[in-house]
A and B are shown apart, each in its own frame.
Chain A
Amino acid sequence: MPRITVTVDGIQYEEDVEPRLLLVHLLRERLGKTGTPVGCDTSNCGACTVMLDGKSVKSCSVLAVQADGCDVVTIEGLGANGSLHPMQRAFHEEHALQCGYCTPGMVMAAIDLLREDPDPSEETIRQGLEGNLCRCTGYCNIVRAVRRGAQEMGQAVSTP
């Protein structure tokens, strides 16, 4: 059984994993990181999106062995010192979640979207979130939240 080393939310783990074990199951069932949920089997819904070496991936479509030597950030590792990440705050402010099942993945995808385009238009946001499905919000408030998150993150960068 392959042994991997993976850093999750700042803590390094060494794990023996079956080659077929999915990253999302490693996170959820071995490391207790249940903040990342599973919504589909086909990588269509994006609920399980996490950051892998700084880029968003759907953790149901990544084998645990592929994360060997990588740095993973989940929704539980996102805020710093108990405070919310600006994107999490923006989702709260704009009522961009209802049942909340898609929310961790949506927040991760939104942050990755801003890495590509720090000041996205509504059109860019809608296209950028195409791989993350929400069944509650009709996306109106999610789009607003991503705009707001972008503004707040932009300000955080420009005002040290």
Chain B
Amino acid sequence: MTTQEVGRPRKRKEDARLLTGRTQWTDNLSRPGTLHVMFLRSPMAHARITRIDVSGARGLPGVVAAFSGQDFAAEQGSLPCAWPRSGDTVVPDHPPMAVSEVRYVGEAVACVVATDRYRAADALEAIEVDYEQLPAVLDMNEALGGSAAKVHETGNRAFTFKETSGDLEAAFRDAPVVIDRTFVQQRLIPSAMEPRAVLCDTDGDSFTMWTSTQIPHILRTMLALVTGVAEHKLRVVAPDVGGGFGSKLQVTAEEVLCLLLARRVGRPVKWTESRTEGNLTVHHGRDQIQHLRLAADADGRIRGLQVELLADMGAYLVLLTPAVPLLGAQMFNAIYKMDAYEFACTGVFTTKMPTDAYRGAGRPEATFGIERMMDELAAELRLDPLEVRRRNWIKHEEFPYTTISGLTYDSGNYEAATDRAMALFGYDKLRAEQNDRRDRGDPVQLGLGVSTYTEMCGLGPSRWFGDNNAGAGGWEHGSVRVLPTGKVEVVTGSSPHGQGHVTAWSQIVADALGVPFEDVTVLHGDTAVSPKGLDTYGSRSLTIGGIAVLKACDKVRDKARKLASHVLECSPEDLEFEAGAFKVRGTESQTTIQELALAAFAAHNLPDGVEARLDSDVTFDPENFSFPHGTHLCAVEVDTETGMVRIRSYVAVDDVGKVVNPLIVDGQLHGGIAQGIAQALFEEAVYDADGNLLTATMADYLLPSAADLPDFALDRTESPATSNPLGVKGVGEAGTIASTPAVVNAIVDALRPRGVNDVQMPCTPERVWRALEGVRR
């Protein structure tokens, strides 16, 4: 007899290996005779390479080969951009190793292949490069002006995109309230704990690449397209991957070059980045200037919203660069009803590291913009920020609801989540304390911040991707094999990096087939083992990948039912399936799924049309996105004398639909909230006036430690998704999306009586102090 597994806080199967160091991080792996690769990187943001000489490196002890970009010019191809969503997108040529011009600090210009990493590092110093410096282009507004240097010959505009719904002019005409604000989404460095690493082996004709990636399947196809190495001669393996958050959703220069180097030298090559290399060259996130205008009635009801974005592309368009800000196009209107909406975005080239997907990708930026505006609207009307939201949001009885930007939200209950969050937070009591501190003129002021959010999760329906000019669809693959001994092997196209797929998928399969949780294993992340997939990003693992596995179980059960009816000599309709056994209704006659697996393996007595082995193979393509939502509340104490911000308490009530494993859901939320708080308070990629990255190490780029964060109080409401049979909605990005505006709203709330109505992120003590000084003068 089995108990219900879905919904149970199962401890993870993944942990044993990770806790004892028996891990397969790419840098742990080696092949006989492995050589080490190191790259020489540009110290200039923008320059022409006038001379490059690698001969000094050749012949040094341990050095097997040294190459410049020129040596690979004919074969290295151009790194791909797979989603030029706007029709006018300019996609510049992007050589993996620069050939004649560099456009950001850290771009590779040459490489060395040596017997160990110390020898390779020595040899880099013997390479000579002469640069003719060109002007750096760092500011987006200046980049679009006529006098700026050109990052590419085509100019600095990557694309323009505009969508309007409703009559915007009418909405703003004679509106009693118009709020006009400009917010900056600072540039972030995703900072997965595991630096990237690539190991590529060859037998001369075919190649195997182990790489720290979120996307082994997409990577294989893209590497084939970029390099001309035939796809069927290329196997990509994502072994243990130490975090991603979008930063490993990429086809990197180093992966392309390791493949070409393995082919050139005919031996396995390995590259492992230093953290400094990572900060310079793993794609950055966010980086937008948002100009928002919101028109409302006197009672706070939104009439119209106008969004104008400048989005920093950096120097090139990598895999999804131009699509990321446009994922916000349908998210700025969020959970609110309005009569008119306009979204416009200009992508801008600068001489910085390219930006791309980072946890939430476009949706945290959008949520920040609208949630800050809702607080500004509340302040303007002297209403409670939660009351303004209540007056505008979609009511729970109105689902399914098609928003002004054209998405259909299937389910949700914003009232329920908010009521629960307010109770857990002690909202009224904290407001009373806030008023008391204000009255007393306490130098430490209390601020309460709210963020009510939704996101489009589970990327996504293939048809939608097609309609929006993406290079690929959004289906996912699952395969279930009941082995001859009755144990179950699952293959998933989704490739995890900390999300606990093995445990969650085991729970789904255990319920669907009535087998013990322990009897299920899950294989993933190797194109030779898991041949089909579109990988892991956009909170699509469970919502699409998990559902593919569930549907594969359904198919196995259908096959088992046919076999059972044959074995038990009854009609399939007379069989009921319970706890892993098919029973003939009203009799003692039954057979288990394990017995049927053995029978299907032996194949001595199969009914017509039923093939040997009890297994199945499914791809699932969702009909819609899923839309998790929630209410996050944050209380901060702000020292008005020093600008120091301390988070006093943080409450999150999220509705992620049905929950498969509450432990994993809470863990994902904890981590997401921490990353979002980090954007609000700590993190920023800073370039100097010449385009040097000043935050190239962990000593300079401030990641929060345990000492910088509080405990988070979590709770849940549940409105199941209707777009998939489990009712799951996705959780990976929710915390990050919700938390950043909750924290900044809290800080502004603390300081509003002093006349402060915005603090630019990250809200460091200095920034808060300057904001206060600005209004004191």
**Chain A residues near B (Cβ < 8 Å):** 18, 20-21, 25, 28-29, 33-42, 44-45, 47, 74-76, 78-79, 84, 88, 91-93, 95, 97-104, 107, 122, 125-127, 129-143
CA distance A21 to B119 in the complex (A): 12
State the Cβ distance, A112 to closest chain B Cβ, in Å.
14
Chain A residues within an 8 Å CB radius of B16: 92
**A contacts with B: majority SS:** loop
Cross-chain pair count, CB within 8 angstroms: 179
Q: In the bound complex, do residue B21 and residue A104 qualify as a contact, i.e. CB atoms below 8 Å apart? A: yes
Q: In the bound complex, do residue A133 and residue B19 qualify as a contact, i.e. CB atoms below 8 Å apart? A: no
Q: In the bound complex, do residue A98 and residue B667 qualify as a contact, i.e. CB atoms below 8 Å apart? A: yes
Interface core residue of B17, B193, B705 (most chain A CB under 10 Å): B193
Contact of A139 among B117, B276, B664, B674 (CB under 8 A): B674
Chain A residues within an 8 Å CB radius of B698: 40, 42, 44-45, 133
State the Cβ distance, B314 to closest chain A Cβ, in Å.
22
CA distance A143 to B708 in the complex (A): 13
Is B240 at the interface (CB under 8 A from chain A)? yes
Chain B residues within an 8 Å CB radius of A130: 705-707
9 A–B pairs (Cβ distance < 8 Å), ordered by A: A28-B27, A42-B697, A44-B697, A76-B20, A93-B11, A95-B12, A99-B243, A100-B242, A133-B703
Q: In the bound complex, do residue B193 and residue A99 qualify as a contact, i.e. CB atoms below 8 Å apart? A: yes
Q: In the bound complex, do residue B193 and residue A140 qualify as a contact, i.e. CB atoms below 8 Å apart? A: no
Chain A residues within an 8 Å CB radius of B668: 98
Contact of B18 among A18, A40, A103, A140 (CB under 8 A): A103
Q: In the bound complex, do residue B705 and residue A133 qualify as a contact, i.e. CB atoms below 8 Å apart? A: yes
Q: In the bound complex, do residue B23 and residue A100 qualify as a contact, i.e. CB atoms below 8 Å apart? A: yes
Q: In the bound complex, do residue B242 and residue A101 qualify as a contact, i.e. CB atoms below 8 Å apart? A: yes
State the Cβ distance, B117 to closest chain A Cβ, in Å.
8
State the Cβ distance, B363 to closest chain A Cβ, in Å.
19
Question: Which segment of B285-293, B448-456, B494-502, B558-566 sits at the interface?
Answer: B494-502
Q: In the bound complex, do residue B707 and residue A127 qualify as a contact, i.e. CB atoms below 8 Å apart? A: yes
State the Cβ distance, A27 to closest chain B Cβ, in Å.
10
Q: In the bound complex, do residue A101 and residue B193 qualify as a contact, i.e. CB atoms below 8 Å apart? A: yes
Q: In the bound complex, do residue B19 and residue A98 qualify as a contact, i.e. CB atoms below 8 Å apart? A: no
State the Cβ distance, A11 to closest chain B Cβ, in Å.
15
CA distance A54 to B551 in the complex (A): 52
A-B pairs with lowest CB-CB distance, top 10: A35-B21, A100-B18, A99-B498, A101-B242, A138-B674, A138-B670, A98-B498, A44-B698, A34-B28, A75-B21
Is B395 at the interface (CB under 8 A from chain A)? no
Closest to A95 in B: B663
Q: In the bound complex, do residue A92 and residue B19 qualify as a contact, i.e. CB atoms below 8 Å apart? A: yes
Q: In the bound complex, do residue A95 and residue B25 qualify as a contact, i.e. CB atoms below 8 Å apart? A: no
State the Cβ distance, A145 to closest chain B Cβ, in Å.
11
CA distance A131 to B706 in the complex (A): 9
Chain B residues within an 8 Å CB radius of A107: 19
Chain B residues within an 8 Å CB radius of A38: 27, 195
CA distance A138 to B498 in the complex (A): 13
Chain A residues within an 8 Å CB radius of B706: 125-127, 129-130, 132, 134, 139, 142-143
CA distance A136 to B580 in the complex (A): 36
**Chain B 275-295: CB-based contact to A (< 8 A → 1; otherwise 0):** 110000000000000000000
Q: In the bound complex, do residue B243 and residue A138 qualify as a contact, i.e. CB atoms below 8 Å apart? A: no
Chain A residues within an 8 Å CB radius of B18: 97, 99-100, 103
Is B699 at the interface (CB under 8 A from chain A)? yes
